[in-house]
């Protein structure tokens, strides 16, 4: 009986997690010239992460920021949570006091959009959005966002789409090895680590970020052996992991 109860509880938890992952609010939405990806969290709430910089009011929300937090489903089909604000000024310092916010997905299955209504930080005025789209208590107003795509998933068998490395079949005669990384659509890389190993010797590459890509440059000078391995490890804004390893050898051991 105990095992049966535990099994039923596990199925219920799995079902709830699956329902949250397919909730209508989950996806990548346009917002004020940028993009925000809303995904489900383990505690039953949702989080809106910036995957393309967006400027709201006076300040820019950077990639990787949790702009919307503690998004919680309400009984009427809307969602309540918090929006990250900044203090006005040239420095755009984050405001530690969040602003009450409401969300609701409107439209039909063919044409959905997300209405977001805001209240100023510290106002204690919780915005509401009715099923017909009308809002109340939004001291800062509302913004509509178009659905861009579902949440991206990185296929582990097709990493060459994002990481471009020289082939290891022929020897290398250059003094440097360049590795190019391209950000996955709607889920850019947040952390990139490229390392060289030759026996017990280890060397880390310099990584230079560009707008939608990155280049890692590895020095091949003064290696203890002619053979070496390059490993690329990267993590995206939404928590996906990319790992690729490839072996090489030098044409002439310096």
Domain co-membership, 134 together with 169: no
- Going by the DSSP 8-state scheme, the letter that residue 94 receives in this structure is B
Buried (b) or exposed (e) across 117-146, using 16+ Cβ within 10 A? bbbbbebebebbbeeeeebeebebebeebe
- Quick check: 148 pLDDT over 80? yes
28 & 96 share domain: yes
| 203 shares a domain with 172 | yes
**Is 63 part of a structural domain of the chain?**
yes
Would residue 10 count as lying in a domain? no
Contact call for residues 99 and 74 (beta carbons, < 8 A): no
* Residue 186: inside a domain: yes
What domain range is 88 assigned to? 20-149
Can you give the pLDDT at residue 169?
A: 74
Q: Whole-model pTM?
A: 0.83
How far is 12 from 6, CA to CA, in rounded Å? Answer: 10
Are the C-beta atoms of 207 and 192 separated by less than 8 Å?
A: yes
Q: Are residues 89 and 167 in the same domain?
A: no
Per-residue pLDDT tens digits for 166-179: 887 788 888 899 99
Specify whether 123 is located in the same domain as 163: no
**Quick check: helix, strand or coil at residue 190?**
strand
In percent, how much of the chain has pLDDT > 90?
69
Return the minimum-mean-pLDDT range out of 14-18, 69-73, 216-220: 14-18
Number of domain units in the chain: 2
pLDDT for position 138:
96
Q: Among 131, 149, 167, which residue terminates a domain?
A: 149
* Per-residue pLDDT tens digits for 182-217: 999 999 999 999 999 999 999 999 999 988 899 999
Which of 24-33, 39-48, 109-118, 147-156 has the weakest average pLDDT? 147-156
Note whether 124 and 29 are same-domain residues: yes
- What is the rounded CA–CA span in Å between residue 78 and residue 138? 14
237 confidence band (pLDDT: 50, 70, 90): very high
Domain C-terminal end among 89, 118, 149: 149
Q: Specify whether the CB–CB gap between 136 and 112 falls below 8 A.
A: no
With respect to residue 171, please indicate whether it lies within any of the assigned structural domains.
Answer: yes
Domain end position, chosen among 126, 149, 172? 149
pLDDT the model gives residue 216: 95
Q: Express each pLDDT in 6-61 by its tens digit.
A: 554 444 444 555 567 789 999 999 999 999 999 999 999 999 999 999 998 789 99
Residues 46 and 132 grouped into a single domain: yes
Residue 174 sits in the same domain as residue 101: no
């Amino acid at each position: 009986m105990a095992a049966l109860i535990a099994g039923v509880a596990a199925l219920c938890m799995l079902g709830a997690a699956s329902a949250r992952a397919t909730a209508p609010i989950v996806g990548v939405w346009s917002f004020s010239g940028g993009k925000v990806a809303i995904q489900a969290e383990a505690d039953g709430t949702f989080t809106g992460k910036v995957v393309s910089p967006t400027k709201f009011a006076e300040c820019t929300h950077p990639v990787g920021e949790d702009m919307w937090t503690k998004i919680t489903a309400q009984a009427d089909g809307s969602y309540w949570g918090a929006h990250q604000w900044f203090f006005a000024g040239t420095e755009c310092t984050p405001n530690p006091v969040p602003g009450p916010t409401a969300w609701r997905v409107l439209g039909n299955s063919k044409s959905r959009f997300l209405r977001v209504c805001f209240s100023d930080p510290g106002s204690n005025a919780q915005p509401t959005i009715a099923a017909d789209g009308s809002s109340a208590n939004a001291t800062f107003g509302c913004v509509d966002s178009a659905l861009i795509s579902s949440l991206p998933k990185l296929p582990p068998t097709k990493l060459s789409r994002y990481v471009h490395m020289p082939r290891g079949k022929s020897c290398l005669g250059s003094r440097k090895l360049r590795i190019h990384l391209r950000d996955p659509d709607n889920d850019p890389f947040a952390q990139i680590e490229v390392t060289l190993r030759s026996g017990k010797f280890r060397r880390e590459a310099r990584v230079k970020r560009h707008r939608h890509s990155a280049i890692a440059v590895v020095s091949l000078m003064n290696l203890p052996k002619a053979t070496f391995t390059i490993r690329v490890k990267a993590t995206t804004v939404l928590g996906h992991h990319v790992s690729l390893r490839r072996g090489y050898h030098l044409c002439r051991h310096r």
